[in-house]
Structure 1
Amino acid sequence: MEITFLNAIELLAGFQAFLFAIYLLFNKEGKKLSNYFIAIFIVLLAYNVLDFFADLILNRWSENITALLQILIYLAAPAFFLHVKTSLFPNYRLKTKDLLHTIPFFILLGIVISLIIIENMQGSVPAKTERIIGLCFYAVLYLQTFLYLYFSYRQLKNHKEIFFENYSNTNTNRYGYISNLILFVAVLYSLSMVNIITRWVFQLESFSFISYVVITAVLILFCWLIILGLRSPQLFIDETEAQPAVQKLVKQNAGNSALKPEEENNELIERVNQYMKEKEPFLDASLTLHSLAQKTGILSRELSILINHHLNKHFFDFVNEYRIEKAMELLAAPDRKEYTVLEILYEVGFNSKSSFNTAFKKHTGLTPTEYRRKNKVSVT
């Protein structure tokens, strides 16, 4: 069997997909439900896109069985959407209504079985008819995929406010991961659709290079996921459920006669501020609302209302203000003049240079370098 360069890329991507799926499925510390869905997605994607890899596995199976297995790709988009949902909401549990996501799969499975029966009874299907049927199946696939990508984006957008109210860093939460994943998959399927249109609809063999682009994009996607799993394993590990949006918490407590009076709220806010100044928990880049609530002995719901509602600022901004104040102190300190800005931003709890520069300029009106120069501290 002759193996081309494209075949080699397919084999590499395929084995990566299956090995990473095995890791996700059997990782004892993992978020079981979320990991199951992303594992299903990457395996189905590998089987559907990587033709040579799929043929290598199924080359002894009948064409009918292969055709039935190819319908499994219509479970990929629902699996992707449910991965996004269970990643953003770790305590989410599957409901009976989630079975509705499988309806397109079973409808198309029934159609394929009917076509197989007709073909066995009447002989082979004309090439033109087979091509039209194939294009219809592709149209349904891409329509389904882009709809689910839109639904996933809506889930992410709705979660954005919750993210800023519960987390203090963009890179310690899966918000950025999900955002990049949605974008990556959208680009991948767009390239795949262009490939199908040029080669199946217009039959332009001169555009065959797009196949290389698609397969390479799949390989890059799998490599990116594996690197994320190695560098940021917390993305695939259970985390505490975030508190709902503060507006919802306030609304839920509106009819509660036991609500704390304003004086008590002010005392709790002072207690939190005092703790932030003395213990400096903001130096931990992974600080969350839940972990701060545990440290201060305040319920997470109460702390969310105190910071996100009474102080009228996101927890994200609340923590980063302390980080910026600490950074200003270190940038102006003579004994820290040999420290680079990058070293200082990591020391105060940031883990992204761009987010640090943005927050610093918003707070001071200056860049970190300008602030250091203004305070006459230079790096030797």
Structure 2
Amino acid sequence: MRWLWVFTGLNTLLYPPVLLAMLLPFSTAYTTIFTVCVLGLYLLTASTLLLLRPQVLYGIRSPQLSGDEALLLPLPAPAKPEDASRAYSLSEEKKQEYRARIEAHMLQQPFRRKGYGIKDLAEETAIPPHHLSAFINQEYRMNFSDFINRQRVNYIKERMAQLDWRQLTLEGLALEAGFGNRTTFFRAFVKLTGSTPSEYQAQVAASS
């Protein structure tokens, strides 16, 4: 907004005098000199601002956070069900068929592949992508990303109950489950369990 105020202010201050100089009966030499000076000042000011702060053209960037500070930022608002979920009303028979296919396929743990997307699941279950998106939104009350992350979190919770998982760090366990990075893992785990991975780990250790 500051850049817009500056840009608009420069236009308001500099262009009207140039227009007046061209319309009023001043000498041609005086008008030319005045116009060149004003436009030169305008271009110099704008160029200097863009040279020093080019990011103003793309909006003001928020300060960068490092470490666990970034993990404590508020989660984005949950995605609303896609329009496809409203457009496709599936029969009960089709819903049962899709649920059986999806849950049977999840037993093979395809979510452990990094970058696993809805097109991958649609191709592997032979369910049209638009039907799959609508079904997940309607039946599981979540979007595809949350659905896959829930499978990954459940996988991690099962691994935490085993002794051999302690050979891995939490980050290593997250990568094994298919999460792309520590931040995504941390946020998904808190969202779906209500506790951080370390807190859950302590609970498992205390109960074993």
Matching residue of 1:293: 122
The match for 2:38 among 127, 132, 152 is: 132
Cα distance in 1 for partners of 2:85, 2:167 equals 47
Shift, 1:356, TM fit: 1.1
Q: Deviations over 1:37-71 (max 9, x none)?
A: xxxxxxxxxxxxxxxxxxxxxxxxxxxxxxxxxxx
Cα distance in 2 for partners of 1:310, 1:131 equals 68
Matching residue of 2:163: 334
The answer to whether the 8 A contact 1:332-1:372 is kept is no
1:248 aligns with 2:99: no
Q: Name the CA shift for 1:261/1:337 in 2 (closer, same or farther; >3 Å).
A: same
Q: Deviations over 1:63-104 (max 9, x none)?
A: xxxxxxxxxxxxxxxxxxxxxxxxxxxxxxxxxxxxxxxxxx
Q: What is the TM-score of this pair, normalised by structure 1?
A: 0.36
Shift, 1:195, TM fit: 3.7
More helix by share: 1
Matching residue of 2:149: 320
Matching residue of 1:344: 173
Q: Name the CA shift for 1:364/1:194 in 2 (closer, same or farther; >3 Å).
A: farther
Q: Name the CA shift for 1:193/1:351 in 2 (closer, same or farther; >3 Å).
A: farther
The match for 1:275 among 91, 102, 105 is: 105
Cα distance in 1 for partners of 2:200, 2:35 equals 70
Task: Summarize the alignment of residues 1-380 of structure 1 with structure 2, pairs less than 5 Å apart.
Answer: 125-126=32-33, 128-134=34-40, 195-196=48-49, 211=51, 213-214=52-53, 247-253=82-88, 260-277=90-107, 279-376=108-205
The answer to whether the 8 A contact 2:85-2:137 is kept is no
Q: Deviations over 1:133-152 (max 9, x none)?
A: 356668xxxxxxxxxxxxxx
Q: Deviations over 1:349-372 (max 9, x none)?
A: 111212211211222222111212
SS in 1 for 2:99: helix
Q: Name the CA shift for 1:319/1:251 in 2 (closer, same or farther; >3 Å).
A: closer
Read off the aligned partner of 2:126 and give its amino acid letter.
G
Read off the aligned partner of 2:168 and give its amino acid letter.
Y
SS in 1 for 2:148: helix
Read off the aligned partner of 1:340 and give its amino acid letter.
T
Read off the aligned partner of 2:95 and give its amino acid letter.
N
The answer to whether the 8 A contact 1:331-1:344 is kept is no
Q: Deviations over 1:275-322 (max 9, x none)?
A: 112x11110121111111001111111101111233221101100000
Query: Which structure is larger by alpha-carbon Rg, 1 or 2?
Result: 2
Q: Deviations over 1:192-216 (max 9, x none)?
A: 96943xxxxxxxxxxxxx95x558x
Q: Which runs of 5+ in 2 are unaligned?
A: 1-27, 56-79
State the identity as a percent: 26
Q: Name the CA shift for 1:306/1:134 in 2 (closer, same or farther; >3 Å).
A: farther
The answer to whether the 8 A contact 2:85-2:133 is kept is no
Shift, 1:373, TM fit: 1.9
Q: How many pairs does the alignment contain?
A: 156
Read off the aligned partner of 1:328 and give its amino acid letter.
K
Q: Which runs of 5+ in 1 are unaligned?
A: 1-120, 139-191, 197-209, 218-244, 254-258
